[in-house]
Chains A and B, each alone.
Chain A
Amino acid sequence: MGMTMTQKILADHAGLKEVRAGDLIEARLDKVLGNDVTTPPAINVFKNMGADDVFDKDRVIMVPDHFTPNKDIKSAELCKCMRCFAKEHDITNYFELGQKGMGIEHVIIPDNGLILPGDAIIGADSHTCTYGALGAFATGVGSTDLACAMVSGSTWFKVPDGIKVVLKGIPGPYVTGKDIILHLIGMIGVDGALYKSLEFTGDGVASISMDQRLTISNMAIECGAKNGIFPVDEVTLNYISVTNPSRFSKGEYKTYEADEDAYESTIEIDLAEVPLTVALPHLPSNTRAAKDVKDMKIDQVVIGSCTNGREEDIKTAAELFKGKKVADGVRCIVIPGSQRVYRKALDEGWLAVFDDAGCVISTPTCGPCLGGHMGILAEGERCVSTTNRNFVGRMGHVKSEVILSGVPVAVASAVVGRVATPDEM
């Protein structure tokens, strides 16, 4: 049996010629990441360990994005703890509010050229798997793992089996990466890929933009996967040539190709058959075609997050909102995922479109995605959201509901006042 892409990257980072699913390995890491919720506990562990310094100040990334701009005193203390540590240890990639390059971690890290194909990354955030879109191995861990990796620059992994996901053909109108990944999660369930890698391949990959690949890899965790990885192709190389021209031109990246017989199982998806998809409360796997749930009235729409707060998402939202109005009784919150996306939206006039449509525009933040702030739901309220989780209480009251969708369905829903598709606007 051959090796998957993931297995090859892990083998290289463990200094091994070959690894097999189930092997326990110790792997070197290229980047180690934490945010304002997970880093402070890691800093505690770091101090309790008696550690003096991080393994490499250029390879540790810290992003205050969850409860920022600080929503209350406690969150201000968390951010201060991380900020002081970053200063003390001269962390190169600490991002501060308002700086160019700042925003939601999984939006800015790829965008700032910090990840290259073939890298191995862990982050104390479950959506660290986002970077698989670049042909890297990236997975989420907890704060203790983060602390230990900050010291050693390595961590342990159990080598995962791989599921090959063959994407064929071209998606229909308005169908985005979000619909593709929701569709897949609906097919296999929230634990359908538990402990395994999802490896995307097939002729359909070429038609999927980098922003959409990032959305797809972002939600690999929502079916239990350890990581979700894309092959490196022209789209990837174009992307890194812009985000990190110097390392790109020096060829400081590595591409891996899976062996044909490496996979435990295969799933085929005909992209033309993927409908505009929503996930109803309270699991991302509770999917339906959006056109089949048109009786669901809504109170709020959120467009943003590390899943759908990228340039292409905000651009799509602006194009669809142009000349339209948010329905009476609906609040629509648009959250560009980074300062760069925000600025682009300002320069291109997208912010004016949102404002004219009756949306509120927020500074980049995780905000309502995790029920933090900036759009919490009351009892009985229902929200269509481009985020990635619709668990009980995720966005506010235990008796509130979140429906996950891509950007086009979110905009249409805001305009129509219930779950809707763009052709109804």
Chain B
Amino acid sequence: MSVKGRVFKYGNDVDTDVIIPARHLTSADPKHLAAHCMEDIDASFVSRVSAGDIMVAGSNFGCGSSREHAPIAIKESGISLVIAESFARIFYRNAINVGLAIMECPEASAAINDGDEVEADFDSGVIRDITTGETFEAKPFPEFIKRIIEAGGLVQYTKLKSEA
């Protein structure tokens, strides 16, 4: 599977409070969350993003609260993939569990610019910056995560297990 889109670039330590501020957590409706996604660091994000676009950030993306609302908000906003130097661990878990694609790749995170056109292949882990022509290789997913993804997410994985 591969995705292609325009890049929204952010810095290090993007926390879940700016991805989706707590004042909006009184509803877990994905549409409501997406409407406020990133508003505290990038007020125009919601109006500019279109389906398939890609988010690129620095280290420790998604640090802070355990709110699953954060990866849901990003996914629902239309973002098809988040590439970061590294992810905070609860965000990493949540993204996988809710089916938001993520890739860890320090080189891509450093080199890709805001607004670039980028293409990424989940199976090979290859990320290509179409605008600059550069290619990068992301760390492949660990085996167990592949198994969860194959099952269609943690819910299906748990279902399969409890039936087994």
Contacts of A50 in B (CB 8 A): 159
Contacts of A191 in B (CB 8 A): 13, 59-60, 63, 86, 88
Task: List the one stretch of A90-98, A256-264, A350-358, A390-398 in contact with chain B.
Answer: A390-398
Q: How far is the CA of A226 from the CA of B154 in the complex (A)?
A: 20
Contacts of A283 in B (CB 8 A): 13
Q: A72–B18 contact, CB under 8 A?
A: no
Q: How many interface contacts (CB-CB < 8 Å) are there between A and B?
A: 129
Shortest distance between the CB of A409 and any CB in chain B (Å)? 23
Q: How far is the CA of A278 from the CA of B30 in the complex (A)?
A: 36
Q: B63–A224 contact, CB under 8 A?
A: yes
Q: A38–B155 contact, CB under 8 A?
A: no
Interface residues of A in 355-398 (CB under 8 A from B): 370-372, 389, 391-394, 398
Q: A24–B94 contact, CB under 8 A?
A: no
Q: A37–B25 contact, CB under 8 A?
A: yes
Interface residues of B in 1-54 (CB under 8 A from A): 13, 15, 17-18, 21-23, 25-28, 40-41
Q: How far is the CA of A125 from the CA of B16 in the complex (A)?
A: 13
Partner of A145, one of B23, B69, B88, B154: B154
Partner of B155, one of A40, A75, A148: A148
Q: A394–B68 contact, CB under 8 A?
A: no
> Using an 8 Å CB-CB cutoff, how does the interface string of A124-159 with B read, 1 for contact, 0 for none?
111010000000000011111101100110001010
Q: How far is the CA of A394 from the CA of B23 in the complex (A)?
A: 9
Q: How far is the CA of A392 from the CA of B155 in the complex (A)?
A: 33
Contacts of B18 in A (CB 8 A): 391-393
Q: How far is the CA of A255 from the CA of B122 in the complex (A)?
A: 43
Q: Does A248 contact B (CB under 8 A)?
A: no
Q: Does A342 contact B (CB under 8 A)?
A: no
Q: B90–A140 contact, CB under 8 A?
A: yes
Q: Does B143 contact A (CB under 8 A)?
A: yes
Q: A190–B13 contact, CB under 8 A?
A: yes
Q: A372–B22 contact, CB under 8 A?
A: yes
Shortest distance between the CB of B138 and any CB in chain A (Å)? 17
Q: A37–B67 contact, CB under 8 A?
A: yes
Contacts of B60 in A (CB 8 A): 190-191, 194, 224
Task: List the one stretch of A13-21, A41-49, A297-305, A313-321 in contact with chain B.
Answer: A41-49
Contacts of A371 in B (CB 8 A): 17, 21-23
Contacts of B40 in A (CB 8 A): 392-393, 398
Q: B63–A40 contact, CB under 8 A?
A: no
Partner of B41, one of A44, A224, A392: A392
Shortest distance between the CB of A358 and any CB in chain B (Å)? 28
Interface centre among B60, B68, B143, B154 (most CB of A within 10 A): B68
Q: How far is the CA of A67 from the CA of B28 in the complex (A)?
A: 14
| CB within 8 Å for A126 and B65 given contacts A190-B60, A191-B86, A391-B15 | yes
Q: Does B66 contact A (CB under 8 A)?
A: yes
Q: In this complex, what residue of A is CB-closest to B69?
A: A41
Q: How far is the CA of A152 from the CA of B157 in the complex (A)?
A: 11
Q: Does B133 contact A (CB under 8 A)?
A: no
Q: In this complex, what residue of A is CB-closest to B13?
A: A190
Q: Does B97 contact A (CB under 8 A)?
A: yes
Interface residues of A in 307-339 (CB under 8 A from B): none
Interface residues of B in 139-164 (CB under 8 A from A): 142-144, 153-155, 157-159, 161-162
Q: B154–A125 contact, CB under 8 A?
A: no
Q: B66–A125 contact, CB under 8 A?
A: yes
Q: A224–B21 contact, CB under 8 A?
A: no
Interface residues of A in 23-73 (CB under 8 A from B): 24, 37-38, 40-41, 44-45, 48-50, 66-67, 71-72
Q: Does B130 contact A (CB under 8 A)?
A: no
Shortest distance between the CB of B93 and any CB in chain A (Å)? 6
| CB within 8 Å for A141 and B93 given contacts A45-B155, A151-B158 | yes
Q: In this complex, what residue of A is CB-closest to B63?
A: A190
Q: Does B106 contact A (CB under 8 A)?
A: no
Query: 8 tightest A-B contacts by CB?
Result: A74-B26, A142-B94, A142-B68, A144-B97, A191-B60, A126-B66, A148-B158, A370-B22
What are 20 contact pairs spanning A and B, CB under 8 A?
Answer: A24-B142, A41-B28, A124-B66, A126-B64, A144-B94, A145-B94, A145-B97, A145-B154, A191-B63, A191-B88, A194-B60, A194-B89, A221-B90, A224-B63, A226-B89, A370-B65, A371-B21, A371-B22, A391-B17, A392-B17
Q: Give 13 A-B pairs besides A144-B94, A391-B17, A398-B40 with Cβ atoms closer than 8 angstroms.
A: A24-B144, A41-B28, A49-B158, A67-B26, A124-B66, A125-B65, A140-B90, A145-B93, A152-B158, A156-B144, A191-B88, A194-B89, A392-B15
Residues of B within 8 A of A (CB): 13, 15, 17-18, 21-23, 25-28, 40-41, 59-60, 63-69, 86, 88-90, 93-94, 97-98, 142-144, 153-155, 157-159, 161-162
